[in-house]
Chains A and B, each alone.
Chain A
Amino acid sequence: MPRSPRVVVCSCEDITLGDIESCLDKGYRDIEAVKRYTGFGTGICQGRSCLHLVTRILVSRGAEDHEIIPFTPRPPLVPVPLGMYAELDEHRDVSADDGAEATEDSKGTER
């Protein structure tokens, strides 16, 4: 049985060159649209290992400058256990509900 070659361009989500090409065939040509259609760059690496591969492919298929704009990176850069953020907030003693006074207190102790 014939297979489409597994040329993996996004290893988090197993997105292949074939997926990118069928996306281009449907008319999604810029980085943002290709990301939204295929889901590339939405895995654990958040684009660190795949964005430049997909961009190379789009450029080689004639993408124009305005189609080559990176999608917005979102923090954290690498996976962080949520508990670590909780610990940080515990220490900061600042939360959205605290008033200005609490903020001032905690800032005072930080210096």
Chain B
Amino acid sequence: MTSRRHRPLREARPVKIKHDGEIIDAFEGEPLAAALMAADVRVLSRSAKYHRPRGAACGSGDCANCLVTVDGLPNRSACMTPCRDGMVSESQNVLGSAENDLLGITDWMFPWGLDHHEMFTGVPLVQPVVQRVVRKLSGLGVLKERGTTQGDSTSVRSGPITVDVLVVGAGTSGMAAAEAAALGGASVLVVEARSITGGRLSSGVHRDPEETFARRREAEQRGVSIWTESTAVQIDRHDHPLEVLVLRASGLAQVIPRVVVMAPGGYGATGIFENNDLPGVVAAEWAGRLLSKWGVLVGERPLICADNPAAETLSRLFTEAGAPPARVVPLSAAFALASMDPPPIRLVSAKGTRHVERAVIETDDGRETIPCDVIVIAAPPAPAFELALDAGCKVAYEPTSGGFAVASDADGRTAAPDILACGTVTGPCSVEQAFERGSRAGRMAAEVALLPENRQSPAPESRHAS
């Protein structure tokens, strides 16, 4: 088995995990998808409908491409699941193996696609039969009768946590906000979905100002609690003015903040072209994080789809790792199919049976096939607006990413008085802007949280009912 481990992780403890029955060497705490990539396991699962091969693509738990069953629990993102000694994972949705899935024929049997609106709908007797076949072929299968939850749930029993300011996301703006809020006298909790803080700076794709780490140390010294591997999944206003549920390995934690600073960043995109879901089409931050944080080289002949400065940084990262780019093309090439005016260079297709082997690009002079084993795409992240919208913020279309950004003023104030927002969730921003807006939102958060009317314990109305 080829190893894609570019350098060992000296700081981490070596562990053994099992994937589809094979023992694999890994490091404790690294994402499962990184360990599997290091062991050259590139196809992690198959897609629901056409059983197309899939592998880790976004690296931030935001797409469905690396879902595996981990210790009996299905639909876990391999890119967000940290390795533990003895962990057992299995590829999902396969008949045979992920590499050779017999149901992969579905992709070939329906060359023009499967439109469920036109599958014998309304034809008596035929419809139920066809439906049964389709249901058998597609979907993610039947859940085991008894699922398992990871870990124990003792920490859940510790009860709700009240805090002045909850910061969602420990990236550049989130950490700046946490520090500023703590400086303003507020008690602060930061929740971060990844196992590491630093957001985009941890990918090595963006410049890494010394300041980030200085700020983090500063924040920790000021008593800011930071929970990693903790995802804010829900925000309610039923029993308390604000209540946030945070998913942790041990269970759901209930956090009752006075103010929430939304700094969850955004979602990576991997372009709109033929076979854009093939294993080996990856978001730049995932490729960068694999290399700079986990020592894993995602490919030896990368086709880089990026604009400067990301294009230069990625080229340098790969070249330094002994894998100079096969070609660098502008980012617009990956989105040619969704452009008003076709860009001069267009990425038409990724080719390969189970993972990327070639890419086809097109110019006005014709088509060219470029041998490559990975296509790295540095697209602007689409703001992660969902929780903020749920909490009463307003969003607006953001054309550079195609996503929706949370509307906020320079101090991070949104349409909801107890929700502030900063960083990528409010639209594209540089690292410097993220610092600046994060700090301002943090100061404002402390100010709002410590207002006399917010200082009173939130009294549920139900107390005096009936």
Contacts and interface: CB of A to CB of B under 8 A. Distances in A.
Interface of A: 1-9, 11-14, 16-19, 22, 37, 39, 43-49, 51-53, 55-57, 59-60, 65, 68, 70, 72-73, 75-81, 83-85, 87-88, 91-92, 94, 99-100, 103-104, 107, 109-111
Nearest to A92: B254
B252 A85 contact: yes
A9 to B, nearest CB: 7
A44 B77 CA distance: 10
A55 B147 contact: no
Q: How large is the interface on B (under 10, 10 to 19, 20 to 34, 35 or more residues)?
A: 35 or more
A76 B247 CA distance: 9
A70 B262 CA distance: 18
Given A6-B52, A76-B247, A104-B463, A56 B231 contact: no
21 contacts: A5-B274, A6-B277, A8-B52, A8-B276, A11-B63, A11-B64, A43-B48, A53-B272, A57-B337, A60-B339, A70-B404, A75-B234, A79-B75, A80-B247, A84-B156, A87-B252, A91-B156, A91-B157, A100-B462, A100-B465, A103-B460
The 10 closest A-B pairs by CB, nearest first: A56-B402, A52-B382, A14-B49, A73-B386, A49-B63, A76-B233, A75-B234, A52-B402, A3-B111, A12-B64
A55 B405 CA distance: 13
B205 interface: no
A80 B157 CA distance: 17
B197 interface: no
A4 B112 contact: yes
B377 to A, nearest CB: 12
Contact of B62 (A5, A48, A111): A48
A96 to B, nearest CB: 11
Nearest to B385: A70
A46 B384 CA distance: 12
Contacts of A8: 47, 52, 275-277
B364 interface: no
B56 to A, nearest CB: 12
B160 A110 contact: yes
Given A48-B384, A76-B233, A81-B149, 19 more contacts: A4-B112, A5-B274, A6-B50, A6-B107, A7-B272, A8-B275, A17-B337, A39-B116, A44-B75, A49-B58, A55-B403, A57-B337, A60-B338, A77-B231, A80-B247, A84-B252, A85-B252, A87-B153, A88-B252
Interface stretch (B20-28, B173-181, B387-395, B426-434): B387-395
B339 to A, nearest CB: 6
A81 to B, nearest CB: 5
A88 B67 contact: no
Interface in B222-239: 231-235, 239
B111 A2 contact: yes
B333 to A, nearest CB: 14
B231 A52 contact: no
A56 B335 contact: yes
Contacts of A107: 239, 460, 463
B463 A7 contact: no
